[in-house]
Structure 1
Amino acid sequence: MSESQGESQGMPDWEKRFRAARVSLPSWAEDAPERSLFISNATGTFELYTWDRTGGEQRQVTDRPNGTTDGTLTPDGKWIWWFSDTDGDEFGVWMRQPFGGGEDEPVADLPASYPAGLALGRDGTAVIGRSTDEDGTTLHVVRPGEAGSREIYRHRESAGVGDLSHDGTLLVIEHTEHGDAMHSALRVVRTADGTTVAELDDSEGGTKELGLSVLGFAPVSGDQRLLVGHQRNGRWEPMIWDPVSGTTSEPALDLPGDVEAEWYPDASALLVSHSRHARDELWRYEIATGALTRIETPAGSVLSATARPDGTVEFLWSSAARPPRVLSTTGEVVMDPPGMKAPASVAVEDAWVEGPGGTVHALVQKPEGEGPFPTVFEVHGGPTHHDTDAFAAQPAAWVDHGFAVVRVNYRGSTGYGREWTDALKHRVGLIELEDIDAVREWAVGSGLADPERLVLAGGSWGGYLTLLGLGTQPEAWALGLAAVPVADYVTAYHDEMEALKSMDRTLLGGTPEEVPERFEASSPLTYVDKVRAPVYISAGVNDPRCPIRQVENYVDRLKERGHPHEVYRYDAGHGSLVVEERVKQVRLEIGFALRHLPGTAQGAPE
């Protein structure tokens, strides 16, 4: 028996899924493709690792108590740049370390900030994006041999570094200077002096709800074309823009659903990722001929993909039933994590429910046996995100304990067209809960869910919707589990990072002082006295996104009422990268549910 097998004996499957080693899709240095960087939790904390494909050597780069996931390779593969914050607060500086190992060193003379993007050039030039409450967004050029850094962009609204051209002379910036944080415009500037080369703004200064995204400059010498994402046809699609000549071309992709793309290394083709109905597939698009060829992948979700210089494609795949695997179009497994493997779970079923704003898509997982089941409505965060047919340890843990799990891609979610995402305005929180409630009624009416044992749960924006739902739909829910939530929207706005302030102003149409009635209507604190269900809340004390003070305001009101609740505070930011901590949090949530839900097994989770 191996050591890992011995350690896992007697461990429940739900815990094994969290503890099993996982790896991200390895990224690779553009000019040294044998050198890769990936993320793994092999030590029990998510950290950065290098992989020299020539000899197969892997090396842990970072080792910090709260983990590290933000890093990249320089184009020549000689250095790893990684972001160093404090205890998960996302406020810090960029460091670098030699690929082969050595001391970490700061990369610039810039003070700590929230990150706003990074681009690394072949000549050693770097463009570093920074965001602070005092300055808004600033972008800085750092060149080898030059003392200090040089600021080339500044604006109060949110912005970020897009990409550098192959020769390093051009920089594309994603910005929201028009005040709409949900729909970015693009500006290409010269890195030498910051002067503007070209602008692309489909929002027409914020008068239209159309956004753009940077997908990358062409990766070959002498080619300054830029691949961007646009929403002109009601969904995300790729477009090739030449900022110097001003010309654009849109690939003819007859694929329903959202489409993203990246360049093949020789820029002759695009690697197309097509997402529809919470599942993904890959295609190759030939730029010269327009030929579109399907790349075979298993049914499920492709979480990330990259085209290698030899023309093969590597991708990170999973489904709700099957754990993640890093695969290649060669048919080989690219990287197999060490130790025990995550047990499989159950497949998802699709539910399509008519809601007040259109048809709502939900993903359902059921335990063995006949319903109605105690049911967890696990609400995704974002809100600009969506649940997919991908492996997730937390829903699988609930299924193991006899619960059905329903995940709702409410209005505001991505993946269902621009109108569905942009429907979330002004009545924030209340719109999403209308869709969740429609699916709840379907789940009860269909015999899936026991109406007396319904749990509303989620993290981040999902935690916000949980607290808001407990107060605005008090008769619907028997229990609430809110992780890192927005609980007091006004205080959260004043304490959160500047980029999220911009998003809130876009969603609600202004600041708490400008539209107080909207913030009041959308704040869980407004309805706290109407909450009937027991409430469990977990929060990171260093969280810059859903800061701790506004959570404490909500908890204080529960205390004043003598309302049944539990609060778990942990020393990290917006969630944890430490496996032991994640296992502890899930165990606490399941234990709370088993103690407070009628008709469920009492005591600690198995």
Structure 2
Amino acid sequence: MGEALVSGPASREALSQRYPRREPDARLVATLADVLADGGKRLHWSSRTPEQLECENGTVRFLIQVRTPPQCEDRSCPAVVYFSGGCPQPGYHWRAEFFLRAGFVFAEPAVRGASCGADWAMADDGPRRFEAATDLEAASRCLRARLSRHGDAPKLGALGWSYGGNQTLLAMTRFAGSYDAGFALAAKPDLLSFFSQAPAELRRRRTAEYGDPVTQPELLRANSPMTYVDRVRSPVALMLGGRDPKVSLSDADAFVRALEARQQDVSLMIVPEHAHLTERPQEVVFEHAHVLAFFADRFGIPLSPAVGY
């Protein structure tokens, strides 16, 4: 399965000790495991027809799929904004169910780069990525306006894995203030550093999408969360797999240290047994238990494993 990249003086073992695996709340783990096993047979709030919210970013328009739990129809509730490279689909999904049952609105923006058609999927490739990323900020404006109730604006959390994790970190750095907290999993904080140390075959496959570290270093810097780390003013959490060859533990360490030096609320966890994207039920539950606990804590809301389920 490979191993996460490491560069510089710190070894993989040293970084794993600095950012150790932590067990989530056992009751929350058990509750999420029950929801996952249910498969939408009894627990299917996510099956309700979602709202398709149309947002504008200059001349560009994109949709955000919004799922709202019943108790949040008439009052402002915190929202988790899930970024991914996929195209949001209606219907039951266990991830949306997790958040709805815990009292969060679950929003999925189809920003430029989402796989809603070939042209849209490539709309953030190469030199277009810098401008396309402004959709992250536009999504925040759109959701705050739509989800406000009686003058009460909602807290917004940014969340994503891999490509979506990169978007999450960019939302929290370059567009600091747009989101009130962010949790990035399997993300690359520094694109230039990562691609400079990545295997040649991986660089070749991703050059058109991200840029070449030799001939286009400024492009990679412009689109790297690390470039804007000094702008961060909201809590950020990262989780990486120790067996993930598509991330750099050293880059994450540098990112976290930069925020710690400014006394920002930041955390990193390295999970030794995890690879790039988790698929086994116990891995899914482990990650989401940490994510839910993070947002509940940072937004100051109760998270009882039994509430809402």
TM-score range, shorter chain: 0.7 to 0.9
Quick check: 1:519 aligned with 2:220?
yes
Quick check: 1:461 aligned with 2:135?
no
Relative to structure 1, is the Cα distance of residues 567 and 496 closer, same or farther in structure 2, using a 3 angstrom cutoff? same
Count residues with an aligned counterpart.
273
Quick check: 1:433 aligned with 2:133?
yes
The residue aligned with 1:443 is 143
- State how far apart, in whole Å, the 1-side matches of 2:67 and 2:209 are: 31
CA contact (8 A) 1:425 1:507 kept: yes
- State how far apart, in whole Å, the 1-side matches of 2:156 and 2:285 are: 23
Relative to structure 1, is the Cα distance of residues 536 and 505 closer, same or farther in structure 2, using a 3 angstrom cutoff? same
Quick check: 1:373 aligned with 2:73?
no
Quick check: 1:397 aligned with 2:101?
no
Quick check: 1:583 aligned with 2:285?
yes
CA contact (8 A) 2:113 2:122 kept: yes
SS at match of 1:343: coil
- State how far apart, in whole Å, the 2-side matches of 1:500 and 1:392 are: 31
The amino acid that maps onto 1:534 is P
What are the ranges of 5 or more consecutive residues in structure 2 without an aligned counterpart? 1-26
Quick check: 1:477 aligned with 2:208?
no
Residue 17 (structure 1) shift: 2.9
- State how far apart, in whole Å, the 1-side matches of 2:42 and 2:253 are: 36
The amino acid that maps onto 2:77 is F
Residue 368 (structure 1) shift: 1.6
- State how far apart, in whole Å, the 1-side matches of 2:222 and 2:212 are: 14
The amino acid that maps onto 2:239 is S
The residue aligned with 1:190 is none
Instruction: Pick the aligned partner of 1:15 from 23, 33, 46.
Output: 33
- State how far apart, in whole Å, the 2-side matches of 1:349 and 1:451 are: 18
Relative to structure 1, is the Cα distance of residues 11 and 542 closer, same or farther in structure 2, using a 3 angstrom cutoff? closer
CA contact (8 A) 1:488 1:553 kept: no
Relative to structure 1, is the Cα distance of residues 390 and 427 closer, same or farther in structure 2, using a 3 angstrom cutoff? farther
Quick check: 1:408 aligned with 2:109?
yes
- State how far apart, in whole Å, the 2-side matches of 1:397 and 1:494 are: 37
Relative to structure 1, is the Cα distance of residues 423 and 429 closer, same or farther in structure 2, using a 3 angstrom cutoff? closer
Relative to structure 1, is the Cα distance of residues 362 and 569 closer, same or farther in structure 2, using a 3 angstrom cutoff? same
Residue 452 (structure 1) shift: 5.3
SS at match of 1:446: helix
Relative to structure 1, is the Cα distance of residues 429 and 555 closer, same or farther in structure 2, using a 3 angstrom cutoff? farther
Greater relative CO, 1 or 2 (CA 8 Å, sep 6+):
2
CA contact (8 A) 1:362 1:409 kept: yes
Give the alignment of 1:563-582 within 5 angstroms. Answer: 563-570=264-271, 571-582=273-284
The residue aligned with 1:353 is 55
Relative to structure 1, is the Cα distance of residues 409 and 498 closer, same or farther in structure 2, using a 3 angstrom cutoff? farther
Give the structure with higher Rg (CA): 1
Residue 487 (structure 1) shift: 0.8
Give the alignment of 1:584-599 within 5 angstroms. Answer: 584-598=286-300
Counting helix residues as a fraction of each chain, which structure ranks higher? 2
Counting strand residues as a fraction of each chain, which structure ranks higher? 1
Relative to structure 1, is the Cα distance of residues 552 and 605 closer, same or farther in structure 2, using a 3 angstrom cutoff? farther
What are the ranges of 5 or more consecutive residues in structure 1 without an aligned counterpart? 1-7, 23-322, 324-340
Relative to structure 1, is the Cα distance of residues 451 and 525 closer, same or farther in structure 2, using a 3 angstrom cutoff? farther
Relative to structure 1, is the Cα distance of residues 604 and 533 closer, same or farther in structure 2, using a 3 angstrom cutoff? farther
Q: Percent identity?
A: 20
The amino acid that maps onto 1:591 is A
Relative to structure 1, is the Cα distance of residues 352 and 452 closer, same or farther in structure 2, using a 3 angstrom cutoff? closer
TM-score by structure 2 length? Answer: 0.79
- State how far apart, in whole Å, the 2-side matches of 1:452 and 1:488 are: 30
1:469-503 Cα distance to aligned partner (Å, 9 max, x none) = 11111121110110111111112213445454124
TM-score by structure 1 length? Answer: 0.42
CA contact (8 A) 2:156 2:180 kept: yes
The amino acid that maps onto 1:15 is A
